[in-house]
Amino acid sequence: MTTQREGQRYVSLGGQRGEWLRYAGVGLVNTVSYYVIFRALHLFTPYLVAHAMAFAVCIVISFFLNCAVTFHVAPTWRRFIRFPLSTLTTFIVMTVGVSVLVEGVGADPNVASLVSALAAVPLSYVISRLLLVGHLRHFDSHP
């Protein structure tokens, strides 16, 4: 990892739409990772335990992919420590979603985990950008 100063860069290619598409691609990879890990863990643990454990692993995956692919910033210790704040909101949305779908609606936990993960994406993008880049403004070229 690098220092905060060394880690600051601007997105130079793709514009805001490209950034959103990269975020969606990273999100897809992360969602598939979460789902595979969840399914494997759910074979021998309750669904909420499997959900929490899969989510924790995917925080790390998401951090490095979002730094490198989505926002083009270097992974710093400061960003790494702050990044779980973005996932806290996502975790709450997903946990409530899984619980409501399973307990309230009677949905299969495997389907509920996937649906709740997809529903959390837009909020997760905004919070991730604020924490990793520091603002919501988008720069199309170097200053």
Model confidence over 64-81: pLDDT tens digits?
A: 999 999 999 999 999 999
pLDDT for 138 equals 55
pLDDT for 143 equals 41
**Amino acid identity at 78:** R
pLDDT for 11 equals 39
Which residues in the chain come in under a pLDDT of 50?
Answer: 2-13, 139-143
pLDDT for 9 equals 47
pLDDT for 103 equals 96
pLDDT for 6 equals 47
Residue 120's nearest CA partner among 39, 51, 67 is: 51
Instruction: Note whether 78 and 134 are within 8 A (CB).
Output: no
Report yes or no on whether pTM surpasses 0.85. no
Instruction: Note whether 10 and 2 are within 8 A (CB).
Output: no
Q: Is 99 exposed, middle or buried (0-12, 13-18, 19+ CB in 10 A)?
A: middle
pLDDT for 136 equals 64
pLDDT for 130 equals 87
